[in-house]
Structure 1
Amino acid sequence: MNWLSVLLLAVVMIAGPQIISAVFLASSREPKRSSLAYLAGAGLAGIIGLTVWHFAFHLVRGTGGGQDQHDRTRHLIDWVVLALLVALMVNVFAGRKRSQPPKWMNKLQAASPRFAFGLGFLLFIAMPSDEATMAAAAGSLAGHGQPWWHLLPFLALTLLLLALPLLILLAFGQRAVAVLPKVRDWANEHSWLVSEAVILIFVTIIVSDLLK
């Protein structure tokens, strides 16, 4: 398992309400402060989730003695990760027809930084799709003996992708008012296709590893 392949799952982490909320916050009353607070909340949730899952899978891998036992445990973790990815694909496909963001997102135009922080934390720590994605990423690395810090580039890329609306705002200023709705609409209509493609690639990697 090449740890670089885990980076692909960062796209799945932000697809859906996560990136759409980031777009709304970038055009809110306090766009910079609210967006940074949102990223901070998401980052904290990511650190907690990835650490817990990596520790859990590492404990499972650490049980037993010989090389044969380690190989069996590694394959067991691969099967668990594969099951998580299949469940994630089903979940993404089931939500593909949500053409409009939830009504509560309209309230983000007046969101305070404190509220944005809590939203970022809750969206990443409580969303089943993100929990499954973090578990898959952590399991893939822990199951193959990779250290915890190898998950940090995955988290960093997740936050970078989540920061795109803020970066657009900083780059284009007032012109971003016209650009951001287009980003939101595109993400709302096509993010599920991108997520499915990424998950399918990762499933292929896991299957090829199991067949070795």
Structure 2
Amino acid sequence: MSRLLTRHTRGLWSMANLLAVLPLAFVMVAGPQFVSAVFLAASRDPRRASIAFLAGVALGTALSVGVFYLLAGLVHDPARAAEPDSGNSLLDYLLPVLLVAMAVRVFLRRGSSTPPAWMTSLAESTPRFAFRLGLLLFLFMPTDVLAAMTVGSYLARHDLPWWQCAPFVAVTVLLAAIPLLILVLMGKRADVLLPRIRAWMTTNSWVVSEIVIIFLLVVTLAG
């Protein structure tokens, strides 16, 4: 009976920790990542390109979180972490500094709202290119790297298994799939709505980026 109760309590605690990192899925998608998904949903072959993009998103997110989970596991000492005066790790100090530096950089470059040249060519994307785009964006975008670092290190520090990042990956993919869902559910009306979303995201990209960075900073400091 005691074993069953302990297992149940541990499961509830793990779920609470999992819910704490799920909001970071928004960080993974907001910005050029979502704009790219909108471009692909309005491309020559929108369904195949979008599905390939989402496959890249899933793989890139899982790989990124997994790498930081392993790295955090190498420096994490459960016995030392259990001590009340164990203090913060270098990662706990590094993340906020990086986020503040990124916020300053985004603010200073706020006047530039023109999408990069590669983004304007997404209308002719092949599924193969879309897959590589999703993989590389979610592996190397600075905000995604920091979000994956936060999630991976969070799971490792709380001695949670790596596979518990699966809901986080799933929510990330679901958010990235919103343009495709709009296309499927709205049909021809999506031809009007998607360009409006793309234009707004492009014009206000620096605002979106600042919101994402501040949100990630709050989550990092609260964790």
- 8 Å CA contact 2:30–2:212 kept in 1: the answer is no
Q: CA deviation at 1:205?
A: 4.5
Post-superposition Cα deviations, 1:75-111, rounded to whole Å, max 9, x if no partner, equal 4443233334334433443453332211222221111
Q: CA deviation at 1:183?
A: 1.1
Which position in structure 2 is the counterpart of 1:27?
42
Which position in structure 2 is the counterpart of 1:146?
160
- Structure 2: which 5+ residue stretches go unaligned? 1-15
Cα 1:203/1:193, change in 2 over 3 Å: same
Residues 1:187 and 2:205 are matched in the alignment: no
TM-score, with structure 1 as normaliser? 0.84
- Structure 1 outlier segments of 4+, above 6 Å: none
My pick for the range that moved more, 109-118 or 1-10, is 1-10
Which position in structure 1 is the counterpart of 2:178?
164
Q: CA deviation at 1:116?
A: 0.7
Post-superposition Cα deviations, 1:92-134, rounded to whole Å, max 9, x if no partner, equal 4345333221122222111111111111111122223321221
- 8 Å CA contact 1:78–1:143 kept in 2: the answer is no
Q: Distance in 2 between matches of 1:37 and 1:66?
A: 41
Which position in structure 1 is the counterpart of 2:114?
100
Cα 1:152/1:85, change in 2 over 3 Å: farther
Corresponding pairs, count = 208
After superposition, residues 126-141 of structure 1 pair within 5 angstroms as 126-141=140-155
Q: CA deviation at 1:192?
A: 3.9
TM-score, with structure 2 as normaliser? 0.80
RMSD between superposed Cα atoms in Å: 2.6
- 8 Å CA contact 2:40–2:122 kept in 1: the answer is yes
Residues 1:55 and 2:70 are matched in the alignment: yes
Q: Distance in 2 between matches of 1:26 and 1:206?
A: 33
Which position in structure 2 is the counterpart of 1:155?
169
- 8 Å CA contact 1:61–1:70 kept in 2: the answer is no
- 8 Å CA contact 2:31–2:209 kept in 1: the answer is no
- 8 Å CA contact 1:20–1:184 kept in 2: the answer is yes
Residues 1:116 and 2:130 are matched in the alignment: yes
My pick for the range that moved more, 46-55 or 120-129, is 120-129
Q: Percent identity?
A: 44
- Structure 1: which 5+ residue stretches go unaligned? none
